[in-house]
Structure 1
Amino acid sequence: MCYSAKVRAEYRAYVKEFGAHLTLDEYVKEYWEQFGDEWVPKLPQAIRAWFDDPTVPGQAELHEVVAAWKARTIAKTETDLFAQVKRKADAERALQAKITKKAQEDLRISTNKIGHFKTKLDDLKRSELKPRDSRIYPGTLVPVIVWEDGRRVIRFMRYQCRLPGWNEKTERQYPGTYNARRDKLESSWSQLFGRRHGIILADAFYEHVPRHKLEQRELGAGEAEEDVVLEFKPRGIGTMAVACLWNASPVDGRPDLLSFAAITDEPPPEVAEAGHDRCIIPIKRENIDAWLQPDPKNVAASYAILDDRERPYYEHEIAAAA
């Protein structure tokens, strides 16, 4: 399962390299004005940075919404940080008088939360982007390229697909729908495969693997299994156009929920040897338009595009903390 990826962050890459268009006025109307700013924190920080410049035509409203959300979030986080600093000081004074379980727990929890809130504030206040700012996870809003009105268009979609006919309750029972297995495309995903195709632009993907499998050995006697996160980067092809399926789910009183899943397949040898059993599918650039305009009566053509994929060598390393 591809639980995380590093998406291409630069807006110009979508426009200049991949010819995709984003109508900001329409985006404001359909999402920001009706949903308020509850979607802002679901955008990766590198994507929120698209709207940092109020002088760019069409971005003024988005800039104002993001700036207002950021100001409120900074104020709340500073208040939360102050409360935990006080809690820690109170716990330290209490422990000097008498060691109690409550004071020890208050000290432990407040210390952890102080670190969390300081990191959050640093992220909110800095303007320089870091690699982790481009990471996506299930639930994140991601720029997805689809085909509309005879051209490639960017739509922001949630990374976890709500299948046709599902509601919020149904999808909670199936939390793994951020990936679509290639061998299930004509069963579990049949209502989307051959009908609603998209791509995301990604520079790397991440997987959880057991350390002993990464090291190609058996667990030692009494050894507990340890999980590590690996970052896989394609060698030689640059940005990957990752094959996806998407859906638009009606939501009462609001715009449709747009959501997607990345298609995965059996891994190449180097990914399998690193301990993982799935891999995303980067399609060739010359096949993008055909992929985005599928014929539901000719799924063989869609399979052919998936098979005629980019086949880079995936280098891996233990991922830095997100």
Structure 2
Amino acid sequence: MCYSAQIEPDYHQYIKMFGAAMSLREFAELYWEHGGRELKAPMAIEAAFSDATTDGERRIQALIAETNALRATKLEQELFKQRARLVDADRVLATKATKAATESKRIASDKIDAAAHRLADLRRTTLKDSDSRIYPGWYAPVMIVRDGRRVIVPMRYRCRLPGWTEQTEREKPGSYNALRDSLNQAWRKLFGHNHGIVVVNRFYENVDRDGKKVVLEFDPAPAQQMLVACLWSRTPISDEPDLWSFAAITDEPPPEVAAAGHDRCMVPIKPENVDAWLNPNPSDLAAQYAILDDRERPYYEHRMAA
């Protein structure tokens, strides 16, 4: 399965590469919907709106700023709370070493470090490679065809399949990957109907090494932006904007990925197959399988992730 991936977060690049339009409504709803709640999205997605030039982009820029201000306030409140907790724990420990006070100090220290790190990230203006990385449950720009044109929609990287509820999702947390050999079974309501593409630069996997879990970074050689095949779903939610979500299609790994210790790999399709993939004929699934088989096959170099 694809544990994590470094994506192309800048919608301007999708427009440049594919002539796709940005779905401003869904980007705006993404921030309005969360309204200060924890939104998991790479910082680089937000940074792409820093040079807004249209009214729609400026609206999203304002929503991002509002959301980040709420985030900063919550983090500052958390820092104040945990620092007070740390002082209380130290006061107790100064007179008597107790298990409860020792544990309280440890928890407070960890939470202070985490909140301070997140607050520093909110205030940082220089992007890092990790700012373009997504994990299951995070949002990413996905290109689809809607009303006959290519559009970019922010979607959550964990698909809620048609008919699923939140409870179903919790029971089946691996729905961020759609296995090729189950496309006409578990994914039959989406395969041949809702196809998308997410642009990926590299991916990361958890593998076993000497009895320990380690994270490996896999980079295509030569370096390239991979057009990873996806399936997506749009779920109506009462009194809230629709939930857009997606899964990356994965298949048996090439030899070098298998040798590194992993049993799956994303499926990058060829540029000449983009139109056919984004406009599937549900009556001709064989043509869709053929696109997946006629994939790009870079060599994946790997190393321990930083």
User: TM-score of the superposition, structure 2-length normalised?
Assistant: 0.94
Q: 1:28 to 1:242 in 2, by over 3 A?
A: closer
Aligned residue among 81, 84, 98 for 2:82? 84
2:115 aligned partner: 117
Task: Answer whether contact 2:36 2:68 (CA < 8 A) is retained.
Answer: no
Alignment of 1:242-257 (within 5 A): 242-257=228-243
Q: What is the aligned partner in structure 1 of residue 276 from structure 2?
A: 290
**For the residues of structure 2 that align with 1:319 and 1:109, how far apart are their CA atoms?**
27
Cα shift at 1:13: 1.4
1:11 to partner: Cα distance:
2.7
Runs of at least 5 residues in structure 1 that lack an aligned partner in the other structure: 213-224
Counterpart in the other structure of 2:301 = 315
Identity %: 53
Distance 1:27 1:163 in 2: 19
Counterparts of 1:130-145 in structure 2 under 5 Å? Answer: 130-145=128-143
Q: 122-131 or 49-58: which moved more?
A: 49-58
Q: Supply the distance in 2 between the matched residues of 1:94 and 1:187 (Cα, whole angstroms).
A: 59
Q: Distance in 1 between matches of 2:180 and 2:132?
A: 26
Q: Quote the Cα distance in structure 1 between the aligned partners of 2:150 and 2:299.
A: 28
Amino acid in structure 2 at the alignment position of 1:319:
A
Q: CA deviation digits over 1:228-270, x for unaligned, max 9?
A: 0111111115111000111112222333321111000000011
In 2, the alpha carbon distance for the partners of 1:32 and 1:82 equals 26
Q: Which deviations, in whole Å up to 9, do the C-alpha atoms of 1:105-159 show, x marking residues without a partner?
A: 1221111111111101110111111111111111111111001233211011111
Q: Which runs of 4+ in 1 moved over 6 A?
A: none
CA shift at 1:169, angstroms? 1.8
For the residue of structure 1 that corresponds to 2:56, the secondary structure is coil
Secondary structure of the residue that 1:58 maps to in structure 2?
A: helix
TM-score (norm 1): 0.90
Q: Distance in 2 between matches of 1:30 and 1:110?
A: 35
Q: Which runs of 5+ in 2 are unaligned?
A: none
Number of residue pairs aligned between Structure 1 and Structure 2: 306
Q: Which amino acid aligns with 2:2?
A: C
Per-residue CA distance 1:195-239 (angstroms, 9 max, x = gap): 111010111111110013xxxxxxxxxxxx210011111111511
Tell whether 2:69 aligns with 1:71: yes
Which letter does structure 1 place at the counterpart of 2:67? W
Q: 1:91 to 1:256 in 2, by over 3 A?
A: closer
CA distance, structure 2, for counterparts of residue 262 and residue 177 of structure 1:
9
Rounded Cα–Cα distance in structure 2 between residues aligned with 1:54 and 1:265: 39
1:231 is the counterpart of 2:229: no
For the Cα contact (< 8 Å) 1:22–1:153, is it kept in 2?
yes
State the alpha-carbon separation in 1 of the partners of residues 159 and 231 from structure 2. 8
In the alignment, what sits opposite 2:178? Answer: 180
Distance 1:266 1:186 in 2: 17
Q: How does 1:17-36 map to 2 (within 5 A)?
A: 17-24=17-24, 26-27=25-26, 31-33=30-32, 35=33
Letter in 2 for 1:5: A
State yes or no: 1:301 paired with 2:287. yes
Q: Which is worse superposed, 143-152 or 51-60? A: 51-60
Rounded Cα–Cα distance in structure 2 between residues aligned with 1:23 and 1:166: 25
CA RMSD of aligned residues (A): 1.7
8 Å contact 1:192–1:245 — kept in the other structure?
yes
